[in-house]
Amino acid sequence: MKTICIKTIDRNKIDFILEELEKYPFDFYISVYRFKTYDNLIVHYKDKNTINNFYNMIAKSIKLCVEKYDENKIIEKAVEKNYFYLSTLERKYILEICKRVLELPDEKIGGKNVLLEKLIMSYLKDNKKIYLEGFMNFRVKEYKELLDKIVEVSVVSYLDLITF
């Protein structure tokens, strides 16, 4: 049996991942516990023949969670940090352009989805638990760099628009 524990301080993330996991036709056992300040989603999987599918399912669910709850925050921080000299309205326009860029097919934006899923999958294969906030702070450097490039492209696009 393979067990993975997903820990977070945000119960909404646990609920979101639970909803995602319900979409898969795998036979697994799920339990949710609260220990101190952390919500823990524990997933047990028995079928050793399809363990890679299990990892894919967990990685995809976590990736979707990151996109929903963390991606915009990362982008907003990058815009605030690197383009603080622009007006609030200009930064708002840049964030809108970033959202549009993120809607493009994955191959046009540097394989963001594949990269994030690969980072999560790699981590899960070596670890039995993942603390989402810690993972996002310390294990996704390449992903954050790619989001920074998306912000840069959005800024250049914005500047091109206003000088047109």
Quickly tell me which residue has 């934006």 as its tokens.
109
pLDDT of residue 101: 95
The total domain count for the chain is 1
Rounded to whole angstroms, the Cα distance separating 58 from 129 reads 12
Residue-wise pLDDT for 121-136, tens only, equals 999 999 999 999 999 9
The whole model's pTM is what? 0.94
Residue-wise pLDDT tens digits, 74-97: 999 999 999 999 999 999 999 999
Neighbours of 121 (CB within 10 A): 17
Dist CA 162 CA 164 (whole Å)? 6
Instruction: Please report the pLDDT score of residue 26 as a whole number.
Output: 83
**Amino acid in the structure at residue 142:** E
pLDDT at 162: 87
Domain range for 62: 2-163
d(CA 131, CA 38): 9
Confidence of residue 50 (pLDDT cuts 50, 70, 90): confident
Which 8-state DSSP code applies to residue 128? S
| pLDDT given at position 58 | 97
